[in-house]
Amino acid sequence: MNDRVAEPAVTRPTRTVIRVQTDDFDVGAEMTALRAGSAAIGAVASFVGVCRDRNDGADVAGMTLEHYPGMTERALAKIADEARGRWDVIDIAMVHRVGPLRPTDQIVLVIVTSAHRGEAFAACEFLMDYLKTRAPFWKQEATPDGLRWVDARTSDDAAAERWR
């Protein structure tokens, strides 16, 4: 130990990136851009949600994601603000696709940067749990029995409740 002062603040403004888009995203490029310019970052936790070929026991040939333009970005920004109030994070990125998607396509990306890993992991999982229950997106799947709207999961509500 020594008597140097505590860690300095981040030397650039923190970043909050929120985007809703039909195009795919490049995880590596998003991560590189998000953490650029801050040597205070020691931890980068991320999550990518991917379209599966099965759900609730049925084959899924693809899905279409609908959203509420305007409210979506607003809801995501509120969720990011709430994460910042709970953990000492530096940057947050939340990118969500809409429109038609097929199995193995990327759906959503959340990245959190922080000085330390515990806060990055917790904030990243929190952001996903809240996004799943509070951001206005709806999935419609194409199955052999036709199109069906995906039902909200009680497990997602339970996951979000953990953070109360």
Partner 1 sequence: MLQLLYFARLRERFERDAERVALPAGVADVAGLTAWLRERGDPWVTELAPGRPVRVAVNQDMADAATPVADGDEVAFFPPVTGG
* Site membership for partner 1, residue 93 (CB under 8 A): no
Min. distance of Cβ 33 from a second copy in angstroms? 12
Q: What sign has the CA pseudo-torsion 110, 154, 63, 68?
A: negative
Residue number with CB closer to a second copy (31 or 98): 31
Stretch touching partner 1 by CB under 8 A, among 8-16, 24-32, 69-77, 82-90: 69-77
Q: Is 152 in the site for partner 1 (CB under 8 A)?
A: yes
CB hemisphere CA count around 9 (13 angstroms): 4
Cβ distance to partner 1 smaller for residue 13 or 42: 42
Contact (CB, 8 A) for 90 and 42 = no
**70 scored as a contact of partner 1 (CB under 8 A):** yes
Among residues 68, 103, 106, 115, which is the contact residue for partner 1, using CB under 8 A?
A: 68
Q: Judged by CB, which is closer to partner 1: 13, or 70? A: 70
